[in-house]
Amino acid sequence: MTRYLAGRLGQFLIVVGGALLVVFILLYAIADPARTMLPVGTPDNVVADFRARYGFDQPLLVQLGTFFAKAVHFDFGESLWQGGSAIGSVLAHLPATLLIAIPAVVLGAAAGLVLGTVAARRPDSGLAQALNVFAYGVISVAEFWVGLMLILIFAVIMGWLPTGGYDPKPATLVLPVLVLAMKPFAQIFQLTQSTMVTEYGKQYVMAARAKGLGEVAVAREHVIRNAAIPVVTLGFYELGRVFVGTAVIVEVVFAWPGIGRLAVGALEHGDVFLVQAIVAVAAIVVAGLNLGADLLYFRLDPRTRSVLKGGS
């Protein structure tokens, strides 16, 4: 048990450290940070001064050492584009992303869970097949296209909702949350359906029915409890995926000032310090959510505990 926790925590640190190492290699070893940050055509002596000021003229290993020494204290330098500390700028943009990411995953997971259960009860029914085709459609369309089409229909043509922009009113949240909820919904729907179908085929279901339990009780007391475990953990993974994947696209489409749009701007401006702060925060959030998912799995499924106790 303790060994398992220590191992998982170690993996968390490896992922975060690995992400920082990759960023360091990209920013400092493969690309030239001074040339990335300064405008094209900057005179050589200015570039040299700049290098000396930020220590880019030091040997790479020394730079790597300082980079990690500062990273441990969440010091990633000053953002040249935004002004102020890079990490401060990232943290200031974090709530906006969470404001759409969390409701989106909750909504997607809830809808996926309910509809997945419905589809699993009668896998061959017309409704189940329609839901499956819908889920495939949702997985196959680009979020930015759906976002634009929703803007076209509900904002431009109908005029019911704003086209975008940041304003924590329910109306501005509707479209970004809906678009962000698409992929988690489809993933969780498919997983719920397949695990529920498997669970319904197991003998304990027959036993529960044989002792006279009604269908609702069979589902609520037995099947859902077993099927929910992978579904809940997938929800955590999906939140991580939404947070740094789809959120970037949705924030650009809806002009939403979260860290996804900040990342696009930081890269466009060649703001090396801001880029490394964003990657660090993204890696911590995503690895943290994955860690949370694993621990939750461990908590919810007694079988993993007995295996670990007996095994190591």
Partner 1 sequence: MTVGSLLGSLRRQPVIAVAAIVAAVLLILAVAYPLLTHVDPNGSQLRLRLQPPSWLGGEGLLGTDQLGRDLWTRILFGLRTSFLVSIGACVVGAVVGTAVGLAAGYFGGKLDAVLMRITDIQLSFPALLLAMLVVGLLGKGIWLLVLILGLSTWMIFARVIRSAVLQIRSTELVVSSTSIGATRTRIVLRHVLPNVLGPLAALVALEFARIMLAEASLSFLGFGVEPPGISLGAILAGGRDYLQSQWWIATFAGLFLALAVLSTNLVGSWLQRVVDPTRVTT
3-state secondary structure of 151: helix
Q: Evaluate the CA torsion angle 37, 38, 40, 43 in order and state its sign.
A: negative
Q: Is 61 in the site for partner 1 (CB under 8 A)?
A: no
- Contact segment (CB under 8 A) with partner 1 among 85-93, 97-105, 111-119, 283-291 equals 283-291
- Contact segment (CB under 8 A) with partner 1 among 45-53, 104-112, 170-178, 274-282 equals 274-282
99 CB neighbour count, 10 Å cutoff: 18
Among 1, 9, 13, 22, binds partner 1 (CB under 8 A): 22
b/e burial code for range 117-142 (CB count within 10 A of at least 16 → b): bbbbbeeeeeebeebeeebeebeeee
User: Could you tell me the two tokens for 204?
Assistant: 């304990």
Among 5, 8, 36, 308, binds partner 1 (CB under 8 A): 36
CB of 220 to partner 1, least distance (A): 27
b/e burial code for range 186-208 (CB count within 10 A of at least 16 → b): bbbbbbbbbbbbebbeeeebeeb
CA distances from 186 to 37, 133, 150 (A): 40, 10, 18
Q: Is 11 in the site for partner 1 (CB under 8 A)?
A: yes
- Contact segment (CB under 8 A) with partner 1 among 91-99, 209-217, 280-288, 296-304 equals 280-288
DSSP code of 154? I
Q: 143 or 199: whose CB is closer to partner 1?
A: 143
Beta bridge partner(s), residue 78:
85
- Contact segment (CB under 8 A) with partner 1 among 26-34, 59-67, 89-97, 112-120 equals 26-34
User: Could you tell me the two tokens for 252?
Assistant: 């650009």
CB of 216 to partner 1, least distance (A): 29
Site residues (CB under 8 A) for partner 1, limited to 98-157 = 133, 136-137, 139-145, 148-149, 151-152, 156
Site residues (CB under 8 A) for partner 1, limited to 153-192 = 156
Q: Is 279 in the site for partner 1 (CB under 8 A)?
A: yes
d(CA 228, CA 299): 13
Among 111, 118, 174, 264, binds partner 1 (CB under 8 A): 264
Rounded to 5°, the CA angle 63-69-71 comes to: 100
Q: Which of 283, 277, 284, 261 is nearest to 85 (CA)?
A: 277
Q: Is 34 in the site for partner 1 (CB under 8 A)?
A: no
Q: Which of 94, 64, 57 is nearest to 263 (CA)?
A: 94
The site map against partner 1 for 218-247 (x = CB under 8 A) is ----------------------xx--xx--
Among 2, 30, 201, 311, binds partner 1 (CB under 8 A): 30
CB of 145 to partner 1, least distance (A): 3
Q: Where do contacts with partner 1 occur on this chain (CB under 8 A)? A: 11, 14-15, 18-19, 22-23, 26-27, 30-31, 36, 133, 136-137, 139-145, 148-149, 151-152, 156, 240-241, 244-245, 248-249, 252-253, 263-264, 267-268, 270, 275, 278-279, 282-283, 286-287, 290
